[in-house]
């Protein structure tokens, strides 16, 4: 499966990069996305051969933001991960220095993997209904339009000139890919549904999703995932309560036949739904 993310993901949006020869002045207030809910949500990075004033400036920025802000030293050819404000981040570095006007991919020439983000991109285990276990590997490839540059944007920070990475808008920011290390197999119904995969759980990017529908098309495999899902079995006119997040739902199975089912949820009726339908 391959997902194309058109918005900057938090794994990248929380990284601020500081060049080794750029003078930095500490400031008292920082806007979002550098500060979220009163806490820092960035990492300040200084080069291994940076000037002493750069490190001092970075420390000042860290002090201004919060004590949760991590200051990392980037050595050529090394990679490390760091937790900032409770979120896992990756240090973008490589044999080529990231100069103004260059793309991130010129420094990070290979994919971001579990070696970089051991929690977010952890190698997971998936088990199908027939009891077969599969190893699932995750990786992120950066888009080739993530240019480190000086820009001004009328839609960003009150038009302040900014040194950083501008959202490439219609361009791909990153590609997130998962790979089953052995072929994922399932019995297929007459309707083309993969029976051993539907209604199973899979963990991606540190969160568990329900594989709600799995279609075996002739040209491609299509999986539909739902987050925050609860699975259960109800008899006709049976009522149960389910809590998802901070909300409670009272569910009654009000109609069922060989093809369709209908529910009443918190006093409101659904339409008749076939297997795998959502409302």
Q: 42 and 163 share a domain? A: yes
Tell me phi and psi for residue 64, to 5 degrees. Answer: -65, -40
- Per-residue pLDDT averaged across 120-125, rounded? 94
Bridge partners of 203, per DSSP, are 208
**First-residue to last-residue Cα distance in the chain:** 25
Q: 33 and 150 share a domain? A: yes
Q: Residue 269: pLDDT band by 50, 70, 90 thresholds?
A: very high
Give a yes or no: residue 173 inside a domain: no
Q: 60 and 151 share a domain? A: yes
Q: 18 and 91 share a domain? A: yes
Q: 243 and 262 share a domain? A: yes
Q: 268 and 156 share a domain? A: no
Which has the minimum average pLDDT: 136-145, 183-192, 251-260?
A: 183-192
Chain centre distance of CA 182: 24
Give a yes or no: residue 262 inside a domain: yes
Q: Pick the closest to residue 81 from 120, 49, 107 (CA basis).
A: 120
Q: 195 and 260 share a domain? A: no
- Per-residue pLDDT averaged across 39-52, rounded? 60
Measured distance CA(104)–CA(67) in Å, rounded: 27
The answer, yes or no, to whether residue 170 has pLDDT greater than 60, is: yes
Give a yes or no: residue 247 inside a domain: yes
Q: 96 and 197 share a domain? A: no
Count of CB atoms within 10 A of residue 199's CB?
Answer: 16
Q: Residue 213: pLDDT band by 50, 70, 90 thresholds?
A: confident
Give a yes or no: residue 49 inside a domain: yes
If one counts the domains in the chain, the total is 3
Measured distance CA(185)–CA(200) in Å, rounded: 14
Q: 32 and 159 share a domain? A: yes
Q: Pick the closest to residue 104 from 166, 31, 58 (CA basis).
A: 166
**pLDDT by residue (tens digit) across 66-96?**
433 333 334 344 444 444 445 677 777 777 7
Q: Which tops the pLDDT comparison, 20 or 142?
A: 142
Element of type H or E holding 65: helix 52-65
Q: 198 and 90 share a domain? A: no
Q: State the residue range of the domain holding 89.
A: 8-109+145-167
**Confidence (pLDDT) at 114:** 92
Count of CB atoms within 10 A of residue 125's CB?
Answer: 11
Give a yes or no: residue 83 inside a domain: yes
Q: Which tops the pLDDT comparison, 236 or 219?
A: 236
- Per-residue pLDDT averaged across 248-259, rounded? 92
- Per-residue pLDDT averaged across 191-207, rounded? 90
Write out the two tokens for 255: 């109609």
Q: 158 and 29 share a domain? A: yes
């Amino acid at each position: 499966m391959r997902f194309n993310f058109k918005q900057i993901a938090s794994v990248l949006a929380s990284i601020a990069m500081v060049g080794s020869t750029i003078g930095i002045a500490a400031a008292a207030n920082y806007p979002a996305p550098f500060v979220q809910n009163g806490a820092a949500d960035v990492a300040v990075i200084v080069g291994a051969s940076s000037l002493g004033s750069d490190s001092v400036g970075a420390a000042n920025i860290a002090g201004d933001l919060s004590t949760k802000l991590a200051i990392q030293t980037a050595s050529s050819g090394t990679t490390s991960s760091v937790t900032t404000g409770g979120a896992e981040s990756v240090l973008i570095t490589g044999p080529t220095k990231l100069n103004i006007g260059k793309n991130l991919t010129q420094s990070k020439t290979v994919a971001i993997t579990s070696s970089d983000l051991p929690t977010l991109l952890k190698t997971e285990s998936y088990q199908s209904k027939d009891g077969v276990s599969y190893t699932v590997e995750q990786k992120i490839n950066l888009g080739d339009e993530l240019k480190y540059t000086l820009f001004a944007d009328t839609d960003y920070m009150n038009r302040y000139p900014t040194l950083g990475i501008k959202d490439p808008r219609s361009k791909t920011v990153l590609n997130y890919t998962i790979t089953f290390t052995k072929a994922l197999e399932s019995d297929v119904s007459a309707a083309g549904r993969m029976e051993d995969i539907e209604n199973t759980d899979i963990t991606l990017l540190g969160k568990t999703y329900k594989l709600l529908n799995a279609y075996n098309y002739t040209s491609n495999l299509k999986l539909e995932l739902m987050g925050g899902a609860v699975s259960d079995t109800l008899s006709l006119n049976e009522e149960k309560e389910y809590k998802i997040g901070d909300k409670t739902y009272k569910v009654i199975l009000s109609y069922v036949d060989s093809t369709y089912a209908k529910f009443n949820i918190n006093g409101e009726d659904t339409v008749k739904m076939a297997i795998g339908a959502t409302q």
